[in-house]
Amino acid sequence: MGTPRVHDDGAVRTVTLDRPEAANALHLDDVDTITGAVTDLPDRVRVVVVTGAGDRAFGAGMHLDVFRDAAPGDGRAIITRLATCLRAVRTAPVPTIARLNGACLGAAFELALACDLRVAHAGVRVGLPEVRLGIPSVVDAALLPRYVGAALAQEMVLTGSVHRVDEPGTAPLVNRLVDSPAGLDAAVDDLVATLLAPTREVLSAQKELLETWREQGITGSVEASVDTFAEVFALPATRDAIARYRP
């Protein structure tokens, strides 16, 4: 236990944060492993699922030892490695699903936000407690207002408050919410089956567009969309998909 486990089962790669005795808290080497797991993908892998070992937590964020053992000047290097990892997850060429099996805090919550889709059970709690350590919530915490709105996002980052995902304010974070941990696998499998239906090429292109839409205004987004559509439309895989399609 320690380094995240990476396991391929057909078209699905599962990345499991594997430090259950510490609520799956992350060391910097773990962050690098996640980066590699979502960038070094064989063609057969069509979906990546990220989850936590055990039933206590998806992840508690960065392990406190990372901060305790660091020199005052190490902050930029630490957060740059995390930012690189989260960008790799966000821009992975295949869809990513966060399977939230327990508490999801700090950097682990940012990891879940970086994933395309999230599946959770009603007891999962999420939050960004960094301010309680005297450090700001950064990198992909910037995505939070898109899901919960500015008011709740500001409360969460300024107070470090923790919320259940079945609360009205945080409910938009989750794509599939099940009553108990027992329902997680079926909900994930259902999403995976849906994501395996389109071509790998079109989902990769669509993900690139989603990133463009986040970064640019409407004019740039539309222009990029036109270019991407033309490129994908010309692919042999697209022609095959159109020929097979039945409404």
One DSSP character per residue, 88-127 reads: HHHT-SS-EEEEE-SEEEHHHHHHHHHSSEEEEETT-EEE
Does the pLDDT at position 247 exceed 80?
A: no
Residue 161 in 3-state DSSP? Answer: coil
Structure confidence at residue 100 (pLDDT): 98
Please give the model's pTM, rounded to 2 decimal places.
0.93
Residue pair 153/96 in contact (Cβ under 8 Å)? The answer is no
Residue pair 55/17 in contact (Cβ under 8 Å)? The answer is no
**Can you tell me the distance from the alpha carbon of 97 to that of 89, in angstroms, rounded to the nearest whole number?**
10
39-50 pLDDT, tens digit each: 989 999 999 999
Does the pLDDT at position 226 exceed 90?
A: no
Structure confidence at residue 196 (pLDDT): 97
* Catalytic member of 110, 208, 215, 231: 110
pLDDT tier at 93, thresholds 50, 70, 90 = very high
The rounded Cα 181 to chain-centroid distance in angstroms is 19
- Lowest pLDDT segment from 18-32, 129-143, 183-197, 218-232: 218-232
110 has catalytic annotation: yes
The rounded Cα 128 to chain-centroid distance in angstroms is 15
Torsion region of 217: left, alpha or beta (phi above 0 gives left; psi -120 to 50 gives alpha): beta
DSSP 26: B
Going by C-alpha positions, the residue among 84, 99, 89 that lies closest to residue 53 is 99
Q: Which residues of 32-64 are buried (b: 16+ CB within 10 A; e: fewer)?
A: ebbbebbeebeeebbbbbbbbbbeebbbbbbbe
Across the range 113-136, mean pLDDT stands at 96
Structure confidence at residue 129 (pLDDT): 94
| E strand or H helix at 20 | none
Structure confidence at residue 51 (pLDDT): 98
Across the range 36-62, mean pLDDT stands at 97
Contacts of residue 31, defined as CB under 8 A and 6 or more positions apart, other chains included, come to 81, 82, 85, 107
The rounded Cα 189 to chain-centroid distance in angstroms is 17
130 has catalytic annotation: yes
Residue pair 33/4 in contact (Cβ under 8 Å)? The answer is yes
**Can you tell me the distance from the alpha carbon of 49 to that of 15, in angstroms, rounded to the nearest whole number?**
6
Can you read off the two tokens belonging to residue 169?
């304010």
How do strand 162-164 and strand 125-127 relate by DSSP bridges? Answer: antiparallel
Does the pLDDT at position 127 exceed 90?
A: yes
133-189 pLDDT, tens digit each: 899 999 999 999 999 999 999 999 999 999 999 999 999 999 999 999 999 999 999
DSSP-assigned letters across all residues of 52-82:
ESTTTEEE-SB-HHHHHTS-GGGHHHHHHHH
* Catalytic member of 130, 208, 215, 231: 130
